[in-house]
Amino acid sequence: MEKIRASLLTEVKNKLKLNNDTEVRENVDMSGLTSFRAGGKAALLAEVGSVESLKNALKIVSAAGVFHMILGNGSNTLFKDSGYEGVVIRLSQESFSAVEIEGEETSEVRVADKNGTDNAKASNKILVRAGAGILLSSLAKALMSHSLSGFEFAGGIPGSLGGALFMNAGAYGGEMKDIVRSVKAVAPDGSHEKLFSAEEMNFSYRHSALEENGYIAVEAEMELLAGDKEHIAEKMKELAIKRSSKQPVQYPSAGSTFKRPEGYFAGNLIEYAGLKGVAVGGAQVSVLHSGFIINKGGATATDIIRLITLVQNRVYDEFGIMLQPEVKIIG
């Protein structure tokens, strides 16, 4: 069985290399490509530089029947220490980071002043298209430079636009569903592209239709408001200070480790269960924010997974609530 799998992966590797804008690497240490900075190796990593190359890569791995997955910025993913005997497909940030802004020359736009007051007479919004590989922090800065408001909430979220669309990322009262107009995505078998409307994306708390149907986002169109650049910059700075004062941003983590259970805050439940500061190996429940599991230094994926399980079991024993991880565990 091992020989058959190795032979298949070699065949897949050789076919993937035929795409000029696809970089293929073997036995890649995924700890360097995920925000926990822990975990094992992937048998193959294919970084694609175009939509056509993505479609070709998906066709190749689907036809071969090998395990495969899509990786964004790795901010919500943990590979087991045993590794992943499959193909990790990643969108090149350089190739999938284009930002196109429409309507900048429109004279009648809705303008928010420094006090957040809407002063415009017209209701035209600015349409922005962005590639799914762009980092949320980079996109937020780009939109600020064009005086576009509505994306400030995402400026401090680690990850790419594609990942944010997949899980309807949000923070400080904002979510992707609030601004997304449509999403262009590729079918999981690479056979075609499809344009999803905001309604078809079926956004809900940390969820979208992409999680159900397996389509891979390559571009999103968003509606934003023209605003005051200074006000936008000030709001982003304010949120950054708030984040750094309440979250353990100095340590590797996957952000909030658990989804918020309805009617509760995961961090509060974890703290009330007496788990703040509890550690397994190099993994620790943050003393700053109990909703975060951090790599305090030298943590393995096994340490992190064991701590996640410990937290789930303790909270369930105390409150009868089973916390659901936001982190995707691969392998």
Which pLDDT belongs to residue 34? 96
Read off the amino acid at residue 327. Answer: V
Whether residue 260 contacts residue 205, with contact meaning beta carbons closer than 8 Å, is answered with yes
Structure tokens at 322: 């089973």
Which amino acid is present at 12?
Answer: V
Kindly report, residue by residue over 90-149, the tens digit of the pLDDT. Answer: 999 999 999 999 864 333 333 344 454 444 434 468 999 999 999 999 999 999 999 999
204 has catalytic annotation: no
- By CB atoms closer than 10 A (0-12, 13-18, 19+), residue 145 is exposed
Domains detected in the chain: 2-91 (3.30.43.10), 99-245 (3.30.465.10), 248-330 (3.90.78.10)
Q: Is 206 a catalytic residue?
A: yes
Q: What pLDDT is stored for residue 103 in this prediction?
A: 61
- Catalytic position from the list 53, 149, 253, 256: 256
Encoded tokens for 5 = 């799998």
What does the chain come to in residues? Answer: 331
Q: Which helix (H) or strand (E) holds 164?
A: helix 161-167
As a whole number of Å, the CA-based R_g of the chain is: 21
Positive or negative CA dihedral for 136, 37, 298, 323? positive
The pTM for the full model equals 0.87
How many CB atoms lie under 10 A from the CB of residue 225? Answer: 21
| The pLDDT of residue 108 | 35
Question: What pLDDT shows up at residue 19?
Answer: 87
State which residues of the chain have pLDDT below 50.
1, 104-114, 116-123
| CA atoms of 221 and 225, how far apart (whole Å) | 13
What is the pLDDT at residue 5? 72
Catalytic residue, candidates 206, 208, 221, 290? 206
Q: Is 326 an annotated catalytic residue? A: yes
What pLDDT score was predicted for residue 119?
Answer: 47
